[in-house]
């Protein structure tokens, strides 16, 4: 037995003496099934981001509020402040940029070997790329340091006719 394992066993026995006694006496151990919690890898830190948007911009408060009865002028002034604070928070946290630099409505050629996570081809796309289409949405990606790989929030949409 290695020294490290002996030390680990010693501290385990200190924490759970009943289990250690059963082990030494040769009593069978009842195995508890291990429950593994699955993290949503598609949106890492989504709750943290939501908490940050709430803390800095009161976004959740606004979205959960019934606003039907409020006058449009009141909603407008409130939304401007929420928009400003949440936009600043997103910039500081993840630096959101367009996936494509082309403007919506402009012509775009989807190259062969394109990343389907970054570009969504819609419409009449038959065969293999390259496809000639129109940018319907430029998409969004996170670019801040600490974001692993291509962090596409929403892919660019190219409509092929």
Question: What percent of the chain shows pLDDT beyond 70?
Answer: 70
What does the pLDDT read at residue 12?
63
φ/ψ region of 51 (left if φ > 0, alpha if ψ in -120 to 50, else beta) reads alpha
- Which among 33, 52, 148, 161 is positioned nearest to 107, based on CA atoms? 161
pLDDT reading at 70 higher than 70: yes
pLDDT reading at 115 higher than 90: yes
pTM of full prediction above 0.85 = no
What does the pLDDT read at residue 107?
97
What does the domain layout of the chain look like in residue ranges?
A: 46-93, 98-160
């Amino acid at each position: 037995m290695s020294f490290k394992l002996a030390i680990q066993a010693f501290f385990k026995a200190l924490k759970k003496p009943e289990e250690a006694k059963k082990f030494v006496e040769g009593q069978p151990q009842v195995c508890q099934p291990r429950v593994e919690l699955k993290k949503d890898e598609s949106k890492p830190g989504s709750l943290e981001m939501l908490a940050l948007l709430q803390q800095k911009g009161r976004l959740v408060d606004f979205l959960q509020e019934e606003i039907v009865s409020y006058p449009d002028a009141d909603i407008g002034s409130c939304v401007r402040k929420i928009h400003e604070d949440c936009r600043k928070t997103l910039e500081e946290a993840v630096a959101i940029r367009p996936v494509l630099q082309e403007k919506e409505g402009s012509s775009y050629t989807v190259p062969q070997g394109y990343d389907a996570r970054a570009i969504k081809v819609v419409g009449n796309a038959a065969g293999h790329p390259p496809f000639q289409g129109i940018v319907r949405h430029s998409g969004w990606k996170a670019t801040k340091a600490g974001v692993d790989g291509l962090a596409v929030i929403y892919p660019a949409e190219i409509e092929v006719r």
